[in-house]
Amino acid sequence: MQTVNKLSDEELAEIVRTRDNGAYAELIHRYQKKLLRYATYLINDEDLATDAVQEGFIKAYINLNSFNSKLKFSSWLYRIVHNQAMNLVSRSKSHISTDEVLEMDSGINLEDELIKKEIKNNLHDCLNKMDLLYKVPLTLYFLEEKSYEEISDILRIPTGTVGTRINRAKAMVKKICQKT
C-alpha cells in the first residue's frame, strides 16, 4: 500500500487496467472528496452530488481502457463527473439563472487572492447567484485549483475561452460578493 500511495494517478490507472483492479480504491480515495465538493457546487444538493460522483467513478472504471495515460487522469475523471453533474442539473433545472448579473459592468480588475478569499468566505451566496457558464470555470480555477489547460480539458473548450469566462466571472464575483 505504501508503494501505491507514491504512484502517480496515471501509473495507478495503468495498474488497475492491467494487473490489479483493487488499486482503483486508491484512485477513489484520492478524488472522492474533491469531486464531491465540486459536484455539490454545481448541483447544490449533496445527495445528488454523491450520486453523480458514484456514477462518475463507475463510468470511469468501465471506460478506463479509453484513458490515454499520456494525459492527466484527474482532468479525465473531472470531465466524467462534470458530465454526470450537468446531466443531473439539466434534469432538475435547479440552478439559478441570473441574466441580470451578466449585464453588469465588468471593468473592475481584482487580485486573484482577494477573489479567492471572498469566494471562500461567501461561497454559496456568491456561486449560487452566478450562471453555470461562469460558475463552473471559476469553481475549477479558484476552488479546485486547476490550471487553464486542465479546465480546458475538463470542459472541452479552448484555453482562450476559459480565460475569458474566468475574467468575466471575477467581475461578477466582485459585484455579488460585495452585495452579500
Partner 1 sequence: MSKNLEKNIMAKVKSGQITMKPRWYFVLGSLLMSFGLIGLSIGAIFLTNLSFFFLRQHGPMGEWRLQLMLDSFPWWIPTLAILGIVAGIFFLKKFDFSYKKNFSLIIATFVAAIVLAAFIIDLTGINDVWFGQGRIKDLNQFNQNDWSGQQSQSKQQGRRARFTY
Give the up-direction half-sphere exposure of residue 35: CA atoms within 13 A in the CB hemisphere.
Answer: 29
Q: Which among 103, 99, 107, 105 is positioned nearest to 132, based on CA atoms?
A: 99
Q: Does position 41 bind partner 1 by CB under 8 A?
A: no
Q: Does position 15 bind partner 1 by CB under 8 A?
A: no
Number of residues that bind partner 1 (CB under 8 A): 27
Considering only the stretches 16-24, 96-104, 105-113, 133-141, report the one whose residues sit in contact with partner 1 under the rule CB under 8 A: 16-24
Considering only the stretches 53-61, 87-95, 105-113, 116-124, report the one whose residues sit in contact with partner 1 under the rule CB under 8 A: 53-61
- Considering the complex, state which of residue 82 and residue 174 has its C-beta at the smaller distance from partner 1: 82
Q: Does position 24 bind partner 1 by CB under 8 A?
A: yes
Q: Does position 5 bind partner 1 by CB under 8 A?
A: no
3-state SS, one letter per residue, for 132-152: HHHHHHHHHHHHCCCCHHHHH
Least separation in angstroms between CB 76 and partner 1: 11
- Considering the complex, state which of residue 155 and residue 172 has its C-beta at the smaller distance from partner 1: 155
Give the Cα separation of 125 and 173 in Å (integer): 10
Considering only the stretches 80-88, 115-123, 156-164, 169-177, report the one whose residues sit in contact with partner 1 under the rule CB under 8 A: 156-164
Q: What is the DSSP letter of 10?
A: H
- Residue of 5, 8, 58, 94 that binds partner 1 (CB under 8 A): 58
Q: Which residue carries 484512485 as its cell?
A: 27
Q: Does position 76 bind partner 1 by CB under 8 A?
A: no
* Cell digits of residue 95: 440552478
Residues contacting 84, CB < 8 A, separation 6+: 39, 52, 53, 55, 56, 59
| CA dihedral of 27, 32, 37, 39, whole degrees rounded to 10 | 90
* Cell digits of residue 96: 439559478
Q: Does position 54 bind partner 1 by CB under 8 A?
A: yes
Q: Which residues bind partner 1 (CB under 8 A)?
A: 17, 21-22, 24-25, 28-29, 32-33, 36, 46, 50, 53-54, 57-58, 61-66, 152, 156-159
